[in-house]
Amino acid sequence: MDMPAPNSGIQARKPEIARRLRAVLPPDAVIEAQEELKAYECDALTAYRCPPLLAVLPETTEQVAQIMAICHDIGVPVVPRGAGTSLAGGALPTEDAVILGVARLRDVLEINTDDRYIRVQTGMTNLAVSAAVEDEGFFYAPDPSSQLACAIAGNIAMNSGGAHCLKYGVTTNNLLGVTMVMADGDIVEIGGAEMEAAGLDLLGLICGSEGQLGIVTEATLRILPKPEGARPVLLGFDSNEVAGACVADIIRSGLIPVAIEFMDRPIIRATEEFSGAGYPDCEALLIVEVEGSAQEIDDQLARIVEIAKRHDPVTIRESESAEESARIWLGRKSAFGAMGQRGDYICLDGTIPVGELPSVLTRIAELGAQYGHMVGNVFHAGDGNMHPLILYNANEPGQLESAEQLGAEILKLCVDAGGCLTGEHGVGVEKRELMTHQFAPVDLEAQMDVKDVFDPAWLLNPAKVFPLAVSASRRTAE
């Protein structure tokens, strides 16, 4: 992965920078030792690593503001880091950058069940937010697979989704307001507990901006009452095409299941061997889960089964108990582990219009064969958010590169089908150079112009989101 040349002038000033940061932070909040900095040299895109200049772990918004003011004054790049679970390299450091980790910002600031919101510091994990309101009968809807570990800060940066987002929307639909520290250390409040904001929608702009516009330290999040119950049905089909058509029909019917998960044959085989979930031998499986009262669940499942029957399913297994539900989900939940047993893999993240599912799956299989990589598909089908897994052997020279090339082809295919490079993982460094396939120069210029407004010196989360060559003139402007 190409990265811009580090600023050696900054590296020479490391002692001065560390001294100024120590002066405003608690004793153990500035990490300078190379062995300790190793923990910050990559995120979940582990193929790429780079030690940062320093790491800082502030505990308050005011401390973040002081860090930003110092870095702005000296001209040090800052890489914000949530829990480091980014699959797109969203928190990959550069050698001349300070890592600003929000892990110690993890207080609950306010819970208001009347107005259905919680205000938290953004270092809290996603699951901890739901846990904080569980006793009141509420939950926080976006649920990335990494929800046990991932921080709200990263969820906001990447506009994260999850299995529940078909019904409840992604982060941007559940974020009401933020406290953000600007590149120069100013603290601003954007949005709040009310429905809407006047003027330009800066909150919408900041959600999904991948740390390019500021450091979000506090967030007001919408919480929802927990449903009475939930139950899945497992549907097996003879081809990806038919399973895709069934998904489109369910969506078209107006039903809004909580989840529609799709697994193709490579995934079914791998998970069955790995987990013994008892999946049928077929080309494609859907797990469709609905929620509500017992009556509502029965009604919805009946309608889904009725729709499925029009597509000649080879299996219809409606869960009748919590044990059966767990068994249906077992294979799906072990899919990534199962593929990991078969080799190294890259997990892609593209979106397509739901109606394009059958043709895109066919084309992915063709591309996989052409490049000689096995590709498994396991994904949130209801909203067209695909996660092709490309298997490769990291110990064989050239395999990573060819898997990455195949990945780029598949993401371009998503864009050409009327979709998008990323559904929930973000662009990061991983998909940076593909942005020119999705956006015309004038679109990228407009985005970079907006970045200029918030971060004129381009110090925030360097070398992410925008293609290096395209953003070069901006980065050297200061």
398 to 417, contacts with a copy of itself by CB under 8 A?
Answer: 414
Least gap, CB of 262 to a copy of itself (angstroms): 15
Judged by CB under 8 A, how many residues of this single chain contact a copy of itself?
Answer: 85
186 binds a copy of itself (CB under 8 A): yes
Contact 82, 426 (CB under 8 A): no
Q: 């407009």: which residue's tokens? A: 446
Figure out which of the listed residues 73, 107, 194, 401 binds a copy of itself, where binding follows CB under 8 A.
194
Contact 152, 106 (CB under 8 A): no
Contact 412, 352 (CB under 8 A): no
Residue (213 or 270) nearer to a copy of itself, CB = 213
Written as one letter, the residue type at 261 is E
Provide the 8-state DSSP code for 32. Answer: -
Contact 378, 261 (CB under 8 A): yes
Contact 207, 173 (CB under 8 A): no
- Give the whole-angstrom CA distance, residue 389 versus residue 386: 10
111 binds a copy of itself (CB under 8 A): no
Site for a copy of itself in 14-43 (CB under 8 A): none
Q: What interhelical angle do 322-333 and 265-275 show, nearest 10?
A: 120
| Interstrand relation of 259-264 and 315-318 (parallel, antiparallel or unpaired) | unpaired
190 binds a copy of itself (CB under 8 A): yes
Beta bridge partners of 100: 56, 80
305 binds a copy of itself (CB under 8 A): no
Least gap, CB of 161 to a copy of itself (angstroms): 8
Nearest CA to 68 out of 120, 11, 21 is that of 21
Helix (H, G, I), strand (E, B) or coil at 230: strand
Residue (14 or 226) nearer to a copy of itself, CB = 226
Residue (12 or 453) nearer to a copy of itself, CB = 453
Site for a copy of itself in 53-92 (CB under 8 A): none
Written as one letter, the residue type at 87 is L
Q: How deeply is 98 buried, as exposed, middle or buried, from its count of CB atoms within 10 A (0-12, 13-18, 19+)?
A: buried
Site for a copy of itself in 195-224 (CB under 8 A): 195-202, 204-205, 207-209, 212-213, 224
Helix (H, G, I), strand (E, B) or coil at 411: helix
Provide the 8-state DSSP code for 51. Answer: -
- 20 Cβ neighbours under 8 A, 6+ residues apart: 70, 74
Site for a copy of itself in 127-146 (CB under 8 A): none
Site for a copy of itself in 320-379 (CB under 8 A): 351-356
Site for a copy of itself in 419-438 (CB under 8 A): 419-424, 426-427, 431, 435, 438
Figure out which of the listed residues 215, 251, 308, 403 binds a copy of itself, where binding follows CB under 8 A.
251
Least gap, CB of 455 to a copy of itself (angstroms): 11
Name the one range near a copy of itself by CB under 8 A: 146-154, 304-312, 330-338, 444-452: 444-452
Residue (168 or 274) nearer to a copy of itself, CB = 168
Figure out which of the listed residues 278, 316, 449, 477 binds a copy of itself, where binding follows CB under 8 A.
449
- Give the whole-angstrom CA distance, residue 16 versus residue 274: 53
Beta bridge partners of 388: 377
Q: Cα 204 vs. chain centroid, distance in angstroms?
A: 16
Figure out which of the listed residues 8, 11, 46, 293 binds a copy of itself, where binding follows CB under 8 A.
293
Residue (275 or 385) nearer to a copy of itself, CB = 385
Figure out which of the listed residues 148, 369, 446, 472 binds a copy of itself, where binding follows CB under 8 A.
446
Least gap, CB of 370 to a copy of itself (angstroms): 25
4 binds a copy of itself (CB under 8 A): no
Least gap, CB of 460 to a copy of itself (angstroms): 13
Least gap, CB of 221 to a copy of itself (angstroms): 14
